[in-house]
Structure 1
Amino acid sequence: MLGRRSLDEQLEGLRSALSRNEVLTEVMSRAATMELPGWYVTAGCLFQTVWNVVTDKPPTSGIKDYDIFYFDAADLSWEAEDAVIRAGQKLFAGLPAEVEIRNEARVHLWYEQKFGVPCPPHESTEAAIDSFASTTCCLGVRREADGGWRIYAPHGLSDVFNLVVRPNPVLAPREVYETKAARWRCEWPELTVLPWPG
């Protein structure tokens, strides 16, 4: 089981699992051409691809969308972000999946209205990834210019491979975690969902 292997073996296992999702690899390849500052493909499309591989499902099964985060603090206007989103809609047209692009430098401007708690401004894309409701979600991957993979996994990869959903109570409210975990468990009943801390 990869969850108990060395980090090097886990990283190789992650690349191997993600490479089986042809939609994901195409999203990564196209995203690289946008040259967005600090970009990553992140969240569900990554760990859910691994869950699919581990549980012998088709690699794209149950994946709702493909998230791309970037960080551009130079222009916090909605118009600037919207221009990137529109460029992405053209770039990713024809893929059998929804691709969502967001400037993480702007999250603090709308987060409280959507989730009911304030969000301090993020300082980087990595900081935004750190704030996901579950540590299992805290994962970002991108293709570098040299063809290599940059992988950001602040909590490691063991939970991802071991099908463990662990809460990350740094920003998102408890109900966000519990709602997501319940939805994921319907799709992947093999998951172990750990409770929100009391």
Structure 2
Amino acid sequence: MKTEQDVIHLIEKDPWMVEVLSIAKSLALPDWWICAGFVRSKIWDTLHGYEQRTPIQDVDVVYFDKANLDESKEKQLEMDLAAMNPTIPWSVKNEARMHLINKLPPYKSSEDAISKFPETATALGVKLNQNNRVILTAPHGIEDAVQFKVKPTPFFQNKFLYPIYKQRITNKKWHTIWPNINLVEEPS
């Protein structure tokens, strides 16, 4: 796995992932993506040769809607998704309001928010286009994900946010699930 197209093909060949994407697409949310562990875990499972999917804590659906910043809308969307498939641990967030929760400047879009995730290997998102083809956003590329490198995004490489990154990778214990990953302990 070397290119973004390789990642797209990997996801397109996974019926479960395509089903999850189809369900999320049915909501017709503005600027929506499924991101983070949904993509990263698939890459790492595949590169580790795992035949079974590593369970993921949640399926992160993000969207960007400045017109409705009410958290209750996100909870309703989670219930709508659960009604379509209750076996999936849905998590829905409107990135137009998440900067308030994270105490950061406003995001410009869902892709902007994804670019500001803590790790480059997690700053990935996928969705289905109008022709039901998988498209990928990788603001920092896929190289770190496919090379098992966990390092902070440029946004988290400052003295204020780096401790959040460090605590997160400590808490996640990803190295116990995917032993080939390399955790970068110091900011670049």
| Range class of TM-score, shorter chain | 0.7 to 0.9
Match of 2:155, SS state, is coil
For 1:31 and 1:133, locate their aligned partners in 2 and report how far apart those are by CA, in whole Å: 24
For 1:87 and 1:74, locate their aligned partners in 2 and report how far apart those are by CA, in whole Å: 20
Residue from 162, 166, 175 that aligns with 1:174 = 162
Q: Within 5 Å, which residues of 2 pair with 1:137-152?
A: 137-152=122-137
Residue 17 of structure 2 corresponds to residue 29 of structure 1: no
Deviation at 1:34, TM superposition (A): 0.7
Name the TM-score, length of structure 1 as normaliser: 0.83
Match of 1:137, SS state, is coil
Cα deviation per residue 1:100-152 (whole Å; 9 max; x = unaligned)? Answer: 111111112322xxxxxx21111210111011111111111101121222211
Which residue is equivalent to 1:156?
141
Which residue is equivalent to 2:109?
124
Deviation at 1:166, TM superposition (A): 1.5
Deviation at 1:20, TM superposition (A): 4.8
Residue 185 of structure 2 corresponds to residue 195 of structure 1: yes
Conserved in 1, the CA contact under 8 Å of 2:8 and 2:136? no
Deviation at 1:185, TM superposition (A): 1.1
Sequence identity of aligned pairs in percent?
A: 27
| Structure 2 unpaired stretches of 5+ | none
Name the TM-score, length of structure 2 as normaliser: 0.87
Given residue 166 of structure 1, which amino acid in structure 2 is its aligned partner? K
Which residue is equivalent to 2:93?
102
Match of 2:152, SS state, is coil
For 1:64 and 1:77, locate their aligned partners in 2 and report how far apart those are by CA, in whole Å: 24
| Structure 1 unpaired stretches of 5+ | 4-9, 112-117
Cα deviation per residue 1:142-169 (whole Å; 9 max; x = unaligned)? Answer: 0112122221111111111111112125
Cα deviation per residue 1:71-120 (whole Å; 9 max; x = unaligned)? Answer: 11001122333322222221232x3x312111111112322xxxxxx211
Deviation at 1:21, TM superposition (A): 4.1
Runs of 4+ more than 4 Å apart: none
Count, aligned residues: 183
Conserved in 1, the CA contact under 8 Å of 2:120 and 2:145? no
Which residue is equivalent to 1:185?
175
Conserved in 1, the CA contact under 8 Å of 2:63 and 2:93? yes
Deviation at 1:59, TM superposition (A): 4.9
Residue 56 of structure 2 corresponds to residue 68 of structure 1: no
For 1:64 and 1:22, locate their aligned partners in 2 and report how far apart those are by CA, in whole Å: 19
For 2:135 and 2:11, locate their aligned partners in 1 and report how far apart those are by CA, in whole Å: 13
Which residue is equivalent to 1:55?
48
1:193/1:15 CA distance change after superposition, 3 Å: same
> What is the aligned-residue RMSD (CA, Å)?
2.0
For 1:195 and 1:102, locate their aligned partners in 2 and report how far apart those are by CA, in whole Å: 29
